[in-house]
Structure 1
Amino acid sequence: MANYHLAQLNIAQLKAPLESPQLADFVANLERINALAEAAPGFVWRLQDEEGDATAIRPFGDEVLVNMSVWQDVQSLSDYVYKGAHTEMLKRRREWFDKVEQAHQVLWWVPAGHCPDVREAAERLAHLREQGPSAYAFSFRQACAAPDLAESDGRNGAHGTSFRAGLAP
């Protein structure tokens, strides 16, 4: 069993209120997409409220949605995001969300069994925006190997981790 899992946060700036006709298709697909994530190989945990989603959790402001989850590894998350039914929603994101000029997604390693909170995630995103990718906070394009993997295979980079080419298409 791996000692670390991959945590991810992504945020999205709403173009209209969640209850608006413009976001109706997005809202109608939330339950289905969340169920697909939970059934995906490598899925560990996702942030959700009593309603089963995270749309009411707004730590970045009223117009910003958050999605936060934990996966076994970078490849599992990448496969879910870019190779499955989730891609149909990803292709339509400009219908529902404004383009964010800064980083809108951050990845980081957590000890297996740890479920991060939004404060921890916000700190990682801020670090990525201010400092760029590192072992502390990174992206698909410049993924960082898990600490236990980097230490065991001799690919040690800064802080005992190594970067590898991104997985995102």
Structure 2
Amino acid sequence: MHVAELNIGKFKYPTSDPRMAGFMDNLDRVNAIAERSAGFVWRLKGDNNNATGFRVGDDMAVNLSVWTDAKSLEDYVFKTVHVQFYKKREEWFSLMEKPHMVLWWVAEGHLPSLDEAYARLKQYESEGASEHAFGWTEVMDEHRMRALRCA
């Protein structure tokens, strides 16, 4: 099984607004790092090589990708230049009160649709973590349990 992830956010400004330049001007670079990262399988993208044209729910921007395992995704998010943009996300995205990220297992070769991904997020929001939809906390707990089993 591979792991799919969806995260959403509400842009504070139109993507053409100069206040979004720090985000928009680096999308290609950050996406290229993802694609070269160990464990990367696939990401949703349009003709512009990114997902800024896709929306779900109440005009929420999306990032949807598939990785061989959660550790590979974690390494990309927190151990590459991506983390610099993650730390500055409040400059470009509104604060969200509901869950904005979800992970779930997919069969190797399966590329989830945006509708499928958004349904997983809504399920996680309404029902909490399960084997069908979970978040970073559950992934980290699984890593700790796996490490303990191997020790």
Say whether residues 1:90 and 2:90 are aligned partners.
no
SS of residue matched to 2:26:
helix
Q: Distance in 2 between matches of 1:71 and 1:25?
A: 26
Higher relative contact order (CA 8 A, sep 6+): 2
How many Å apart are 1:165 and its aligned residue? 5.9
- Partner residue of 1:8 out of 5, 9, 19: 5
CA distance in structure 2 between the partners assigned to 1:71 and 1:50 by the alignment? 22
Aligned-pair RMSD on alpha carbons?
1.4
Q: TM-score, normalised by structure 2?
A: 0.91
The whole-number CA distance in structure 1 between the counterparts of 2:10 and 2:25 is 18
1:22 equivalent in structure 2: 19
CA contact (8 A) 1:57 1:65 kept: yes
Q: What is the correspondence of 1:28-39 to structure 2 with a 5 Å cutoff?
A: 28-39=25-36
Q: CA–CA distance in 1 between the matches of 2:6 and 2:48? A: 19
Aligned to 1:130: 126
Note if 1:66 corresponds to 2:101: no
Task: Give 5+ residue unaligned stretches, structure 2.
Answer: 145-151
- Equivalences for residues 16-165 of structure 1 within 5 A: 16-62=13-59, 64-143=60-139, 164=142
TM-score (norm: length of structure 1): 0.82
Ranges of 4+ aligned residues in structure 1 off by more than 2 Å? 59-62, 163-166
* 3-state DSSP of counterpart to 1:10: strand
Once residues 92 and 122 of structure 2 are traced to their aligned partners in structure 1, the CA distance between those partners, rounded to angstroms, is 24
Deviation of 1:83 (Å) = 1.2
**Structure 1 residue 143: Cα displacement:** 2.1
Q: Percent identity?
A: 44
Contact 1:141 1:165 in 2 (8 A): no
- Counterparts of 1:50 and 1:20 in 2: how far apart (Å)? 20
Return 5+ residue gaps in structure 1 as ranges: 145-162
- How many residues align structurally? 144
